[in-house]
Structure 1
């Protein structure tokens, strides 16, 4: 039985077949659909085969739709972590403008992803694990350099992962590695030091993103200008 739902006589017409041959093809095609090819005469079967051989092959493969960057699993994961932290920070009783070191890091990471537009397929997400030690080292260095300008609060990072898993109904990678599973310290930086830390993140994170993600290996795009912001945030 033919897999087609309707005949393709109009396509034979475009190929220059005569009205008589097209009519014969349609009649034979309809007969085969109803009664099967076995009941056709040999000449009719050969004619039908000739007609269908002349037609272009039907493309049956699925058309791949490129998922936008903001819908990629890695991006939505980091964004979820950032949104959760921002919500928590708004509820803290701290001076206006005080900001978490973690939110600065994640904001800048998303900004770089928006700018460079990596594929964020499996090769990228596997390599992105290299961002974990960078984040931890940056936090550690910032705490050492700005002791007098930081305030420590508590935050259960494990809740981030469990909340995301509950929301997405699938297993998710935690923000921090297993060795930090019991670490709940959440450093906040004073307002007048936020932009200083942000600039340091940009200087260090941009080259790391470019050299770490395979999909950016051949990119010659320069680092984003200091005043660049994603269109969605402008």
Structure 2
């Protein structure tokens, strides 16, 4: 296993650990580096062991260990929920060319993450929680469309993650806090493209302004030029 030269608090945050636990881990890690594990209380040693067991194993060798954006926990969390909705949609017998509003929202966010390659460490993942409100607002807007542009189906947004948590110790949070079957707007025909364009035009500046690691990015918008 590669030797850690610094703590990995941002990775724990990306795995869904609370801010208090992340802070405790960082403090205990620094203390152990300075004074040794024997000077820690047993409870603190066990906590450190639990935290480090939850982290991905570092690669060996002299090369710097750097995760791709697609390997970061936040990105995988979005991808998981998108895949779950895509699987659910395949059972809905939707008309050709139709698409759920929620998958479009996640697809566009993933597209921007692929383009800008933010760090997605602790500062980014904390700020990214504000995207919840944007998704809810856009989904509500889609649900208000008339029957020629949208069909309202239902979907349990928590079922897939609940099933995953029964199989493994995942710290991921639910995409939405509403339990049970919830309204699921499916866009029809040209409304799919118009909704996607609106999401793209609003989310692009929002993401750049929200994530701290993109504060000084000079990358143009993905659709520029």
The TM-score normalised by the length of structure 2 is 0.67
SS at structure 1 position matched to 2:148 = helix
1:186 aligns with 2:184: yes
Partner of 1:214: 212
Where does 1:1-234 land on structure 2 (aligned, <5 Å)? 64-166=64-166, 169-176=169-176, 178=177, 180-182=178-180, 184-225=182-223
Q: Flag the 1:131–1:120 CA change in 2: closer, same or farther, 3 A.
A: same
Q: Flag the 1:149–1:161 CA change in 2: closer, same or farther, 3 A.
A: same
For structure 1, list consecutive stretches of 5 or more residues without a partner in the other structure: 1-61, 228-234
Q: Flag the 1:199–1:168 CA change in 2: closer, same or farther, 3 A.
A: farther
CA shift at 1:153, angstroms? Answer: 1.2
> RCO greater where, 1 or 2, for CA within 8 Å and sep 6 or more?
2
**Alignment length (residue pairs):** 165
For structure 2, list consecutive stretches of 5 or more residues without a partner in the other structure: 1-61
Bigger radius of gyration among the two: 1
SS at structure 2 position matched to 1:173 = coil
Q: Deviations over 1:90-130 (max 9, x none)?
A: 22122111100001101101000000100011111111001
CA distance in 1, matches of 2:99, 2:207: 23
Q: Which has the higher helix share?
A: 1
CA shift at 1:194, angstroms? Answer: 0.7
